[in-house]
Structure 1
């Protein structure tokens, strides 16, 4: 039984945000650090992977849809990735990085004090790019949870970059938000589990991080990318409007500046 688990999701290759979270005392003291996917698709993919692999067995890795897409692109299994930065990020990865991504599971189950058996996944337990939101209908949650063992009472997911905690059919659902690409509010978002649930946001010097990433990354549009995502210029309303159609609700218009990707033309990795 683990006493404390830190959950980091959707780092998206943003090294300064990751470093800020890892420096948090509660993250340093956690029994495990669980990464719920989309670790690499961003401006500093190799630096992020090298930092995380250096932490050894404390890290529990889970693949996200963006990690899978980078690997498929490099292995010749897909010609393109809709998110513009993703093909560039894929080309930066070394063979050892690709081998690591190829070994990552889609989900992991761990016992956490106060929460019981916790299932960690990227999007939903059954699919790495399915969309569920804080206000998803209970019928939607019933469908998403179909096939789960009865002893799984808590589900932790990422993918939509917006933090929330809610009950759905007796199961606690937790989304820690995004470390590197937040929607709605700037900062590196994460969660601390055991015995309860705490949603956390770590502040860091955003302007210094934008400058550092711009200098460090060779992605052609890096200055614009860093300014947009580190300042969280996509609001939570923008994101919900964009992702809503994939949750089975109305058509909705897609905000042009959210990153393109596999979720109906808009990335919610």
Structure 2
């Protein structure tokens, strides 16, 4: 079994199309999407149409929840752009997405952790910033989830971690945004250090699951220019460089 895993597209249609082409080139028939689909200053409406047409197993991230439920005065600029752009039918699609999804008896999809779409899974954010989580921290967040593979997103950091009990936690990184600053639960920054789109392929060979973390080139300068046209120089730098 091979599964392509994408997350955190954030309306970056150029990056998404490049990743879709790479998945097709590699002949992966099954793919899943871990949320944070549209929020950002790029192309949320067109991205929604592309994702809906794919029909992949898809879950909602924290930005879907915020776009659907937060009052405008509490929204970030990225969420407000998505709200202004998407159609009613696209909102209903977002509303239909579950927060977690059991793909099969071995694979669980979450955005953050099984208990929260805002909690980092295999990274830890504390007063010093973001760092890799310890096995104990990640194990506590996994709780009693009995899946052999737990696929997560949210942090945009591509990484896999095998717990002492053999469960494999995989974050494919972000398709659409390679650097950002966050405030929850403490101020922190995330920087992958290059602008390529990220995704993963997880594969079961015999009885073992393994993950391949992949990067894909695309025209990030065009998306950075789009962000600038929409008054988001912070996104333009992140898209073009992978740094805040």
Same fold (TM over 0.5): yes
For 1:180 and 1:84, the matched residues in 2 are separated by 16
For 1:177 and 1:214, the matched residues in 2 are separated by 20
Per-residue CA deviations over 1:51-79 (Å, capped at 9, x if unaligned) read 111223xx111100011100113xx5x74
For 2:155 and 2:23, the matched residues in 1 are separated by 26
Per-residue CA deviations over 1:124-169 (Å, capped at 9, x if unaligned) read 11110102335212332232122313xx111110100010111123
The residue that corresponds to 2:66 in the other structure is: 69
Please, what TM-score do these two structures have when normalized by structure 1? 0.73
The residue that corresponds to 1:156 in the other structure is: 151
For 1:231 and 1:18, the matched residues in 2 are separated by 16
For 1:46 and 1:192, the matched residues in 2 are separated by 27
Structure-2 change in CA distance of 1:30 and 1:154 (3 Å): same
Aligned alpha-carbon RMSD (Å): 2.1
The residue that corresponds to 1:119 in the other structure is: 108
Alignment of 1:133-148 (within 5 A): 133-134=122-123, 135-148=132-145
For 1:63 and 1:92, the matched residues in 2 are separated by 18
| Cα pair 1:27 1:33 within 8 Å, conserved | no
Alignment of 1:55-66 (within 5 A): 55-56=54-55, 59-66=56-63
Q: Which of 168, 174, 186 is the matching residue for 2:170?
A: 174
Structure-2 change in CA distance of 1:104 and 1:84 (3 Å): same
| Cα pair 2:224 2:240 within 8 Å, conserved | no
Q: 1:230 Cα deviation (Å)? A: 1.1
The residue that corresponds to 1:86 in the other structure is: 79
Task: In structure 2, list runs of 5 or more residues that go unmatched.
Answer: 124-131, 179-190, 205-209
Please, what TM-score do these two structures have when normalized by structure 2? 0.80
| Cα pair 1:80 1:87 within 8 Å, conserved | no
For 2:237 and 2:122, the matched residues in 1 are separated by 23
Matched, 1:194 2:187: no
Q: Which has the higher strand share?
A: 2
For 1:178 and 1:34, the matched residues in 2 are separated by 13
Q: 1:228 Cα deviation (Å)? A: 1.6
Alignment of 1:89-100 (within 5 A): 89-100=82-93
